[in-house]
Amino acid sequence: MHAQNQAGWRIYAITTIVGLLILAPFAWMVATGLMTTGQTLMVPPRLIPSPPTLDGVIEVFNRIPFATLLFNTIVVSAGRAIGTLIVCATAAYALAIIKVPGTSAILVGILALIMVPGDIFIVPNFAIIASFRMTDTLVALFLPSVFDVFGVFLLYQFFRGVPRELIEAARLDGASHLRILATIVVPVARSGIVSLAILSVLSEWKDLLWPLVVNRSIDKLTLGPGLALLRGVYTTDWNVVMAAGAMAALPMVVIFLVLQKQFITSFARSGLK
Amino acid sequence: MLKTNRRNFLAGAATIALLSTSAASMALAADVNLTLMIWDPAQKAGVQMAVDAFQAANPNIAVSLEQVPQDQYYVKLDAALGAGQGPDVMWQSSKASYYVDGGALQPLDDYIARDALSLDGYKQVIANLYNLGGHQYGIPKDFDAWTFVYNATLLEGLGIATPKAEWTWEDMVRIAEEVKAKRTSSSIVPLYYNYSFNNGVASLVHALGGAVIADGQSHMSSPQGIKALEMIKSLQDSELILKVADSTDFNPVNALISGQLAMAETPSWNLSLLSKADAPAGTFGVVHLPAVNGSWANDTNGLSYVMNVNSQHKDESWELIKFLTSDEGSALHAQGGAALPANTNPQALAAFVATNGKLGGLEAALDAASAQSYLRTTTANPKVLAAMPEISSAVMGEFYSGALTAEQAAQRIDDLLNGALR
């Protein structure tokens, strides 16, 4: 009993230290966001704003249309998550369940594409979007990323785990592929679907280069590039950038707290983080 | 009856809607919308002032000013120009030659001839930069000059005499040593000297009477090249400047403003940040670079306004370029702060000096700087741009950390530059 208590105490200590290490940069961001520009320039740096001020927060709203950027980010993230799920789920279904001819060759192609950095595709993607006359639109922000090879590969792995018997039984009963996908495969592989949705939303939330390249107007951008516009070339008001950063992170923190249980279960099953 | 009425009503409504939409689009078509792309947020206010004046004078032309962060500026430009899109008018730097080779920029010769615009009204060295293959592609916007800014309040508080207009390298070292001896806290940095190869080191080579590249060959292994490297390293070794390895996050402008730095070599594009800072007049003074053997050298470069070859409104774009670089446009831009105008009309420089009036001695320092300027190594030889990242990380980093001697560093720089020049 005593040994068990001691072990429990140690785990708490380690958890506390690791938790503080992880939280420290976030706390520093919030603290800097509550300072004046003068306070951020102090040497040695101050960790606690005295007195705290909302100057930085007010300045964020003066310099960028924060509410519009936040709205755009939510719309675009949702669009990307839905689009990615539809494209990846149908593609993964074709590979894992129907096993279309050439599946192995397609999978090798997918693996090869995963290994190529996404930024390489910026110029051709722009050319495609420009030929659709869709630059400077919200759809342009997420359209190229819905064709997500990583998502296809992830769902392929999940769909392979769906018992064949279930699918064969449904086929015998005359169910169409779309119906099997929607009513059998997706519910069984739910944790994979949720993981992919979360990953899509997260990567859209923090995307920087593509929105800046494809869109021109500030009211057609998302939070990532909006925050980048707050950085100067030679000097930066860090309190303003940090206040904006804290406000940009806040919705994700709230979403995580609300859906905590769901997130942890799906990531534990998918083996991703 | 009712049905017919509804159908008629719907048809009528549709016709009116169609007519009004086409009327609106016709009204819009009469107006020209131009886009102007820049990267520096510090200059946005100045450019916007000039753009506002242009729009007031040309009510049928609307200009949308877009500022893209510098790190993404050329990526965005490459993607957009490659797809036949992009802004109508944009800033260009010494990278312009690549865009000219790619056929993305519009030659301005016909417009210049049509309006009899004389390029003599601009810094000649910058105007020549944008004359490529016998065609003029850009109208100069600004040029760079380097000055030395000191925090007079800090120096006087320590009982140290401020730098005089005709100061020398030895004076600079002496003042920095005095600051080091008398400073009240070890966090006060005596000096910031630009330690980068392309600016600080190369300028010293030129001040010593040498040249980094001459006759298509690198000459860093010359006595002047080695001496320049040793001079900056000695500032670091005697702890007058921060150790170079610890300097990447050091921001001299912020440090001057917060009173943590006594003197700093400062480029002209940063001067407005100091004059806009919340510091009383007389806090900062400006002198030219310290003389080495009686001379000093300023590396200069300059941006220009260029036109997209795919612009749908070339005449209007030219009008915009012409206005932004005119005497009036340059003065307005300078009033908003930031860059030093390349337009040589005294009105433009006067506007820049007046806007930065809180910086004592600015006009004399700028005159002295532009009197002894040379074209930056990478500007005069864009081919060596490719070698610069390796020089700064693999050679200069090792040199400042003591792993390489000045002779070894100079030899490696020569090899890299000559490789890039081939």
Task: Reply yes or no: is the peptide bond before residue A117 cis, omega within 30 of 0.
Answer: no
Confidence of residue B149 (pLDDT cuts 50, 70, 90): very high
Q: How many CA atoms lie within 13 A of B81 on its CB side?
A: 25
Buried b (16+ CB within 10 A) or exposed e, A242-257: bbbbbbbbeeeeeeee
B183 touching A (Cβ < 8 Å): no
Tokens 């930031």 correspond to B338
- Range B239-261 average pLDDT: 88
Q: Is the pLDDT of residue A198 over 80?
A: yes
Predicted local confidence at residue A141, as pLDDT: 94
Contact criterion met (CB below 8 Å) for B267 and B65: no
| Res. B366: pLDDT tops 80 | yes
User: How much is the mean pLDDT over chain B?
Assistant: 88
- Please answer yes or no on whether A38 and B79 come within 8 Å at the CB atom: no
**What pLDDT, on the 0 to 100 scale, is given for residue A41?**
67
Q: What is the pLDDT of residue A267?
A: 67
Contact yes or no for B84 and A130 at CB 8 A? yes
Q: Does A127 touch chain B (CB under 8 A)?
A: yes
- Tokens 């865009």 label which residue? B99
Whether B421 and B216 have beta carbons less than 8 Å apart is answered as yes
pTM for this model (two decimals): 0.76
Please indicate if any CB of chain A lies within 8 Å of the CB of B277. no
Taking the CA of residue B144 and the nearest CA in chain A, the distance in Å comes to 15
Q: Say if B154 is an interface residue toward chain A (CB within 8 Å).
A: no
Give the confidence band of A132 by pLDDT, cuts at 50, 70, 90.
very high
Residue B310's pLDDT is 93
The closest CB to that of A234, out of B42, B69, B75, belongs to: B42
Look at residue B7 in the predicted model and tell me its pLDDT. Answer: 54
* Model confidence pLDDT, tens digit, residues B110-128: 999 999 999 999 999 899 9
User: Which residues are within 8 A (CB) of B26 and not within 5 positions of it... i.e. 6 or more apart?
Assistant: none
Q: Best interface-test mutation with B: which of A209, A235, A236, A238 has the largest number of B CBs within 10 A? A: A235
Angle formed by the axes of helices B70-82 and A122-131, to 10°?
50
Closest C-alpha among B276, B202, B190, B261 to residue B232: B202
Residue in chain B lying closest to A63 (CA): B41
The pLDDT value given to residue A2: 60
Write the pLDDT tens digit of every residue in A135-173: 899 999 999 999 999 999 999 999 998 998 999 999 999
Which pLDDT tens digit goes with each residue over A79-111? 999 999 999 999 999 999 999 999 999 999 999
- Least trusted range by pLDDT, from A214-223, B190-199, B272-281, B302-311: B272-281
Contact B193, B265 (CB under 8 A): yes
pLDDT tens by residue, B370-401: 888 899 999 888 889 889 999 998 999 999 99
- Phi and psi at residue B45, in whole multiples of 5°? -60, -40
Whether the pLDDT of residue A9 is over 90: the answer is no
At A1 the pLDDT is 52
Residue type, B84: G
| Maximum C-alpha span of chain A | 74
Nearest chain A residue to B270 by CA distance is A234
Interface contact flag, B82 A127, Cβ < 8 Å: yes
